[in-house]
Amino acid sequence: MPSFESYGDGIPGVSLEDLTGWLIVIEGTDGVGRTTTITRVRSHLERLGYAVAETGLSRSDLASRGIRRAKEGNTLGSKAFNLFYATDFADRLERQIVPALRAGFVMLTDRYIYSLIARAIVRGAEPDWIKRVYSFALKPDAVFYLRIGVQDLVPRVLLNGGFDYWESGMDLPMGEDLYESFIQYQSRVIEELDQLAREYEYETVDATRPADVLSDYLSRRIAALLEAGGGPAEERGSDGEA
Amino acid sequence: MNPPDFGSQPPGYPGRLFIVEGIDGSGKSTQLTLLAQWLRSEGYPVLFSEWNSSPIVKATTSRGKRRRLLSPLTFSLIHATDFSDRVEREIIPSLKAGAIVLADRYVYTAFARDVVRGVPPQWIRSLYGFAVVPTQAFYFRVPLDVALRRILSARPKLKHHEAGMDLNLHPDVRESYRIFQSRILEQYEQMVGEFGLAVMDATRPVEAQQRQLRRVIRPLLPKPRGRVDHALV
């Protein structure tokens, strides 16, 4: 039995057997505190002896540069943007995530297909179409969706340098100024993530809690999950001792 | 989850979209050029649409090819990205404006090429679900030997992906190209019935093919609105 399966037909030419690692996804909208949480969870897991790797949106070798350029000029149609992100995701899946899982790493992933699907839908993509596009993705071992209401999100974003053009959906006809647009856009994204949580059955975590409480909770949850799966690789490898 | 695959939506624009498809060396590009000249002389606004035209996506595609970063999946997605930009920002607006859009290769090229690379046929058909269905697509059928002779006699420098070298079919580039083209040919043959491609006998003389092409296209054209050669280029 393969340790991983995909939502659809899998990745062309890539065997999903012998993937012994864990794929853990932290989802949530912009500014919800994913980066802080991941940093803390990572050091906790490393203290426990796990080999941990990280990846996040638009960090691919192949497409990150092109996406950045396209954003600077706002020069791509919305479908092309969605597919560019899908290209970036596919490249990271094949060249970062799968190799890390093959090597037995715990892959902490800062957002996954759910955010990409949510953002695409808010930008007008047909839901069934974009879900089918991403159906090559692997089903993670666990997805934790850091949820926050948009009113709780605003002060955090202000503390972290203010509203970003894209995170405010300024490319969309939504409200007159950055603030209005941010509220509308983020509300829509959160709505979609809520909806996807039901469909893809991932766990919603209250992200209004203080950062240390939140990361302690997630560290414990993820450590328990990994423990149940056999613990760090060297213990899983040595017969009878674990 | 059952999104519409390519082909399930009617076009519904005032313009017309004609496609030529076929393997390299089938002579389809020559036919399309002749067709464009004729349509312009008849007073129609004509737009030529080509693969790999969006500058930003093109930079990523070239980088991926040059550095051998592309897998079957990312190869497929990056070409779909480029294609979608072309559909959204070039083809659809031109069709809305009433132009005759001529495309040398269309979704069928991606279906043939990507499926040969191992991408699931149903997935690729729904990936391209956004593409406008052509008024008519023409498939230039040519025996493999004939096409290979036309292409290889010119002693071309075959590119890595063009020759299907990424599939490890054969260590020799020309041999790999032969095998790759033969598999693509099989895919085209399967698509004739699936998508109602009009089959052209690409071994016939150029003029005879062109006459046949015009005969099929003429009744599909809108009434010319007068000489508007300069409206679109």
pLDDT in tens, A184-239: 999 999 999 999 999 999 999 999 999 999 999 999 999 999 999 888 866 554 44
Q: Do A90 and B123 touch (CB under 8 A)?
A: no
State the best of A65, A83, A128 to mutate against chain B, taking most chain B CBs within 10 Å: A83
Distance from CA of B9 to the nearest CA of A (A): 14
The distance of B188 to chain A (nearest Cα, Å) reads 20
For residues A183-211, one letter each, b for 16 or more C-beta atoms within 10 angstroms of the residue's C-beta and e for the rest, the string is bbbbbbbbebbeebbeebebebbebeeee
Q: Please report the DSSP string for B85-115 in residue order.
A: HHIIIIIHHHHHTT-EEEEES-HHHHHHHHH
Chain A closest-CA separation from residue B98 CA (Å)? 21
Minimal-distance CA residue of chain B relative to A74: B56
Give the pLDDT of residue A236: 54
Q: Which helix (H) or strand (E) holds B16?
A: strand B16-21
Mean pLDDT of the residues in chain A: 89
- State residue A202's pLDDT score: 94
CB contact under 8 A, A12 and B118: yes
Residue B225's pLDDT is what?
58
> Residues of A21-51 as b/e, b for ≥16 C-beta within 10 angstroms?
bbbbbbbbbbbbbbeebbebbbebbeebebb
Closest C-alpha among B90, B32, B33, B34 to residue B57: B90
Residues of A in contact with B73 (CB under 8 A): 11-12, 90, 94, 136
Residue B155: CB atoms within 10 Å: 8
Say whether residue A22 is in contact with chain B using an 8 A CB cutoff: no
Site from A7, A84, A113, A126 to mutate, B interface, most B CB atoms within 10 angstroms: A84
- Check B54 against A66: CB less than 8 A apart: no
Quick one: which of B60, B84, B87, B85 has its CA closest to B74? B60
B-chain residues within 8 Å CB-CB of A76? Answer: 54, 56-57, 85
pLDDT digits (tens, 9 = 90+) for A50-76: 999 998 877 777 888 888 777 776 577
Q: Contact at 8 Å (CB) between A107 and A22?
A: yes
**Burial of A17 per CB tally in 10 Å (0-12, 13-18, 19+):** exposed
Tokens read off for A46: 């490393």
Q: Tell me whether A68 touches chain B (CB under 8 Å).
A: no
B194 neighbors B8 (Cβ within 8 angstroms): no
The interaxial angle of helices B107-116 and B173-195, nearest 10 deg, is 130
CB pairs under 8 A between A and B: 111
Question: Would you call B81 and A83 a contact, using CB atoms and an 8 Å cutoff?
Answer: yes
Return the exposure string of B5-43: e unless at least 16 CB atoms fall within 10 Å of the residue's CB, then b: bbbeeeeebebbbbbbbbbbbbbbeebbebbbebbbeee
Q: Can you tell me the distance from the alpha carbon of B24 to that of B162, in angstroms, rounded to the nearest whole number?
A: 10
CB contact under 8 A, B77 and A90: yes
Of A106-120, A147-161, B43-57, B138-152, which one has max mean pLDDT? A106-120
Give the pLDDT confidence score for residue B1 in this predicted structure. 44
Which residues are within 8 A (CB) of A51 and not within 5 positions of it... i.e. 6 or more apart?
Answer: A103, A104, A105, A106, A232, A233
Please compute the mean of the pLDDT values over residues A95-118 and round it to a whole number. Answer: 95
Q: Do A8 and B127 lie within an 8 Å CB cutoff? A: no
User: Each residue's pLDDT tens digit in chain B (233 positions)?
Assistant: 455 678 765 568 899 999 999 998 899 999 999 999 999 999 999 999 876 667 777 888 888 888 888 999 999 999 999 999 889 888 999 999 999 999 999 999 999 999 999 999 999 999 999 999 999 999 999 999 888 888 888 777 888 888 888 888 999 988 999 999 999 999 999 999 999 999 999 999 999 999 999 999 999 998 765 555 554 44
User: Quick check: B87 and A126 CB within 8 A?
Assistant: no
B16-21 and B136-141: which strand pairing?
parallel
Q: What are phi and psi of B230, to 5 degrees?
A: -95, -5
| Rounded distance between C-alpha atoms, residue B85 and residue B90, angstroms | 8
| Nearest Cβ partner for A87 among B4, B54, B81 | B81
Q: Which amino acid is at B114?
A: D
Strand order in the sheet with B100-104: B46-49, B100-104, B16-21, B136-141, B198-201
Structure tokens at B10: 């009617």
